[in-house]
Amino acid sequence: MLVLKRMTSLQVRDCEPLEEIFDLEGLEAVDCTQVLPRLWHLDLVNLPKLRQLWNRDLQGTMCFNSLGHLSLYKCSNLRHAFVPSMAQCLPNLQQMEIKECDQMEGVIADEEGQGRAVEEITFPNLWQITLECLPNLTSFLLWKNHMLECPILSKLSIAHCPKMRSLTWQSSMEIDNGTPSLFTPQVQCPKLEWMVLSHMDNLSKIWSDDPQETLTFDNFRKCRFRIVRGLKMCFRIGWLQV
């Protein structure tokens, strides 16, 4: 693979046959740190056959530790963006935008035979998440018994994701026995300030029964709901007084 030490931005668009972005086969873990060490912005647009961003599990090696902005748009064959161990390779990711990826079921998902056990997935510098027009997305973290931590996330926008009920994976039994909430104790985002939820047909509950397990409302400034037909309640007065 060509080593480009000075490249900070990469855009790949309108390449119909393309199935993967980075071919990491043959690279040792030590070599991975030398690949695109300054890449800050990755923008993937209209890649209808894209199956994966890279073709090898890096087992936690910080290969893309400069990447700050990731944008996926019209990658209609992409079922997920990362497996859990790959997500751990993005410690400086600040903004994530995923739009019009028709087959995406989860942003982070487990694949049989890949990855390793990860108890907690952390994006320490992620402050903005935008998810739009993802008709098959069911959750952000499509992997059971694991946690998602975004300690400085301040902006969250989710629109036109009709199948999404929760940010974390929910079993069919959990769905049948109760009403899953968008935020669960497995999602930690204590600094959330701004949230927009629009056209989410399956969403009926935003917070767990005790939202203080997930976040405080000290930083909350703006919340907008638009055409969320199944939503039963926004806030309880007691939460806002805490």
pLDDT attached to residue 62 = 53
Q: Contact 115/86 with Cβ under 8 angstroms?
A: yes
Q: Would you tell me how many other CB atoms lie within 10 Å of the CB of residue 70? A: 21
Instruction: Give the 3-state secondary structure of residue 221.
Output: coil
Q: What is the pLDDT of residues 92-123, one digit of tens each?
A: 999 999 999 999 999 998 765 444 555 788 99
pLDDT attached to residue 113 = 46
Instruction: Give the 3-state secondary structure of residue 107.
Output: strand
The reply to whether 3 falls in a domain is no
With cut-offs at 50, 70 and 90, classify the pLDDT of residue 86. Answer: confident
Q: How far apart (Å, rounded) are the C-alpha atoms in residues 5 and 1?
A: 12
Q: What is the pLDDT of residues 186-207, one digit of tens each?
A: 888 888 889 899 888 888 888 7
The reply to whether 4 falls in a domain is no
The reply to whether 55 falls in a domain is yes
The total of structural domains in the chain comes to 1
Interacting residues of 92 by C-beta distance below 8 A, sequence separation 6+: 65, 66, 67, 68, 125
The reply to whether 178 falls in a domain is yes
Q: How far apart (Å, rounded) are the C-alpha atoms in residues 159 and 157?
A: 7
Q: What is the DSSP string of 194-214?
A: EEEEES-TT---SS-S-GGGT
pLDDT attached to residue 185 = 83
Work out the percent of the chain whose per-residue pLDDT is above 70: 73
The reply to whether 67 falls in a domain is yes
Q: What are phi and psi of 237, to 5 degrees?
A: -55, -35
Residue 235 has pLDDT above 80, yes or no: no
Taking the CA atoms of the chain, what radius of gyration do you get in angstroms?
Answer: 18
Q: How far apart (Å, rounded) are the C-alpha atoms in residues 232 and 183?
A: 15
Work out the percent of the chain whose per-residue pLDDT is above 90: 38
User: H or E stretch including 175?
Assistant: helix 172-177
The reply to whether 212 falls in a domain is yes
pLDDT attached to residue 115 = 44
Residue 108, token pair as written in the block:
């982070």
With cut-offs at 50, 70 and 90, classify the pLDDT of residue 144. Answer: confident
The reply to whether 204 falls in a domain is yes
The reply to whether 29 falls in a domain is yes
pLDDT attached to residue 206 = 83
| Domain enclosing residue 36, as ranges | 9-240
Instruction: Give the 3-state secondary structure of residue 12.
Output: strand
